[in-house]
Amino acid sequence: MIAEGPALAQLLPQRPPFVMIGQLESATEGCTVSRYQVSAASVLFADGVFTEAGLIENIAQTAAAGVGFSYQQQQKPAPIGYIAAVKDLRIHKLPAEGTELTTEVVVKNQVLDFTIIQGLVRAGDTTLAECEMRIFVKE
């Protein structure tokens, strides 16, 4: 594990109560993995499940943590990223409270200030959500 708690907060532009990852497990140039235990206290938890928006934000924050870690290694401040587009979103199942999510983000391409990633959220061996996301990064 690379970071959690205050160390993770240094990698993300989001602040509680809008943090949707709990641990940064690994971060390489092309792949980032995070973990998150779904909590009913989350602002994106409703009707007994972590919502579609929560899963999308979990993918985006996993990407942000990977970029933040990379910049931290270069002793540079982490840039701010904005979701520009979500493509081919598939929600297979919404997780209940207490479910531990493992989210993997793979960088597919980078063009100018846009990064195209593939995100995958799992609970154990079950795929919960997947999508392609275009993220605009403002340095």
Spell out the per-residue pLDDT of the chain, length 139, in tens.
Answer: 888 888 888 888 888 888 999 999 999 989 999 999 999 999 999 999 999 999 999 999 999 999 999 999 999 988 888 999 999 999 999 999 999 999 999 999 998 889 999 999 999 999 999 999 999 988 7
Domain count across the chain: 1
Contact residues for 20 (Cβ-Cβ < 8 A; gap 6+): 14, 36, 42, 44, 54, 57, 58, 61
pTM metric for this prediction: 0.94
The pLDDT, as a whole number, for residue 97 is 97
Q: Which CATH number does the domain housing residue 48 bear? A: 3.10.129.10
For residues 92 and 127, is the Cβ–Cβ distance under 8 A?
Answer: yes
Q: Which residue has the tokens 């993995």?
A: 33
Phi-psi domain of 113 (left: phi exceeds 0; alpha: psi -120 through 50; beta: other): alpha
Domain coverage including residue 26: 3-138
Cβ(11)–Cβ(69) below 8 Å: yes
